Amino acid sequence: MSLHAVKVKGRFYILKDITKNGKHSTTTVEKLGTAEEIMAAHSCDDAMEWARQHALELDMKDREASDPEGRHYILARDNVRIPKGTLNSFNVGYLPLQKIYYDLRFPSICNAISKRHSFDFDLDTILSRLIYSQILFPGSKLRITDLSKRLFEHPDFEYHQVLRALSVISEHFDEIQSSLYKNSLKVIDRKAGVVFYDCTNYYFEIEKEDEDLSPANAGTFEEMEKNRGLRKYGRSKEHKPAPIVQVGLLMDLTGLPISIIVTSGSRNEQMTLVPVEKKVLKDYGIHDFIVCTDSGLSSEDNRKFNNFGGRAFITAVSVKKMSGENMEWCLSPEGWRMEGEDVRLNKLYDITKLEEDEESREKYYEKIFYKEKYIESYDEERGTEFNQTLLVTFSLKYRDYTAGIRRSQVERAIRAIEQGGGKLEKKNQNDFRRFVKTMNTTKSGEAATNRKYLIDEKAIEEEARFDGFYAVMHNLEETQTSDVLRITKGRWEIEESFRITKTQMRARPIYLARKDRICAHLLVVFIALLFYRILERKLAHPYTDQQIMDCLRGMYIARYPTEDSYHPAYERTDLTDDIHQYLGFNTDYERMTDWRMRGNCRITKGTSKRKKDIS
Taking alpha carbons only, the member of 531, 545, 528 closest to residue 582 is: 531
**pLDDT band, very low/low/confident/very high, at 437 (cuts 50, 70, 90):** confident
370-403 core/surface letters (b: 16 or more CB in 10 A; e: else): bbebeeeeebeeeeeebebbbbbbbbbeebeebe
Tell me, yes or no, whether 52 lies in a domain. Answer: yes
Q: Which of 464, 486, 513 is the last residue of a domain?
A: 464
Amino acid at 360: S
Query: What pLDDT score does 542 carry?
Result: 93
Our separate counts of H helices and E strands in the chain read 21, 20
Q: Which of 419, 449, 464 is the last residue of a domain?
A: 464
Longest dimension (CA), the chain: 122
- Domain residues for the domain of 447 are 399-464
Once rounded to an integer, what is the mean pLDDT over residues 194-204? 95
Query: What pLDDT score does 73 carry?
Result: 60
Measured at the alpha carbon of residue 16, what is the angle toward residues 36 and 21, in degrees to the nearest 5? 150
Per DSSP, the residues of 149-165 read GGBSS-----HHHHHHH
Tell me, yes or no, whether 185 lies in a domain. Answer: no
Q: Which of 464, 479, 494 is the last residue of a domain?
A: 464
474 vs 453: CA distance, rounded Å: 42
Query: What pLDDT score does 412 carry?
Result: 87
* 446 phi, psi to nearest 5 deg: -110, 160
Tell me, yes or no, whether 413 lies in a domain. Answer: yes
Tell me, yes or no, whether 59 lies in a domain. Answer: yes
Query: What pLDDT score does 426 carry?
Result: 58
Query: What pLDDT score does 368 carry?
Result: 94
Taking alpha carbons only, the member of 559, 594, 558, 553 closest to residue 575 is: 553
Give the percent of the chain with pLDDT over 70: 92
By the 8 A CB rule, do 228 and 234 touch?
no
Tell me, yes or no, whether 180 lies in a domain. Answer: no
Taking alpha carbons only, the member of 41, 1, 30, 31 closest to residue 17 is: 1
Res 612 pLDDT > 70: no
Query: What pLDDT score does 71 carry?
Result: 62
Query: What pLDDT score does 613 carry?
Result: 60
Query: What pLDDT score does 504 carry?
Result: 94
Res 430 pLDDT > 80: no
Query: What pLDDT score does 75 carry?
Result: 63
What digits encode the pLDDT tens for the residues 223-249?
888 889 999 999 998 888 999 999 999
Side by side, the strands of the sheet bearing 23-34 are 3-8, 11-20, 23-34
Q: CB atoms < 10 A from the CB of 130, how many?
A: 23
Which DSSP state fits 470? E
Res 21 pLDDT > 80: no
**pLDDT band, very low/low/confident/very high, at 539 (cuts 50, 70, 90):** very high
160 vs 156: CA distance, rounded Å: 12
Per DSSP, the residues of 185-244 read TTTS---TTEEEEEEEEEE-S-SSPPPPSS--SSS-HHHHHHHS-SSB----TT--SS-E
324 vs 339: CA distance, rounded Å: 26
369 vs 366: CA distance, rounded Å: 10
Tell me, yes or no, whether 3 lies in a domain. Answer: yes
By the 8 A CB rule, do 160 and 256 touch?
no
Res 561 pLDDT > 90: no
Name, of 39-53, 203-217, 490-504, the range with top average pLDDT.
490-504
Give the percent of the chain with pLDDT over 90: 62
What digits encode the pLDDT tens for the residues 84-99?
888 899 999 999 999 9
Per DSSP, the residues of 305-353 read HTTSTT-EEEEEE-STTS-HHHHHHHH-SSSBEETTS-GGG---B-GGG
Average pLDDT over the chain, rounded to whole? 89
Lowest mean pLDDT, pick from 10-24, 135-149, 600-614: 600-614
Tell me, yes or no, whether 151 lies in a domain. Answer: no
What digits encode the pLDDT tens for the residues 376-428?
999 988 889 999 999 999 999 999 999 999 999 888 888 888 887 556 665 56
What digits encode the pLDDT tens for the residues 326-339?
999 999 999 999 99
Amino acid at 383: G
**CA pseudo-torsion sign 425, 461, 298, 491:** positive
Tell me, yes or no, whether 313 lies in a domain. Answer: no
Res 67 pLDDT > 70: no
Please tell me the chain's helix, strand, coil percentages from 3-state DSSP, rounded to the nearest 5: 40, 20, 40
Query: What pLDDT score does 375 carry?
Result: 92
**pLDDT band, very low/low/confident/very high, at 305 (cuts 50, 70, 90):** very high
Res 471 pLDDT > 70: yes
Res 2 pLDDT > 80: no
Query: What pLDDT score does 223 carry?
Result: 84
Name which residue leads in pLDDT, 426 or 111: 111
Query: What pLDDT score does 105 carry?
Result: 97
By the 8 A CB rule, do 593 and 58 touch?
no
**pLDDT band, very low/low/confident/very high, at 70 (cuts 50, 70, 90):** low
By the 8 A CB rule, do 157 and 124 touch?
no
What digits encode the pLDDT tens for the residues 475-491?
998 888 989 999 998 88
Q: What total of structural domains would you count in the chain?
A: 2
What digits encode the pLDDT tens for the residues 439-466?
776 655 555 666 778 888 888 888 999 9
What digits encode the pLDDT tens for the residues 127-163?
999 999 999 999 877 788 888 889 999 888 999 999 9
45 contacts: CB under 8 Å, gap ≥ 6: 39
Whether this model's pTM surpasses 0.85: no
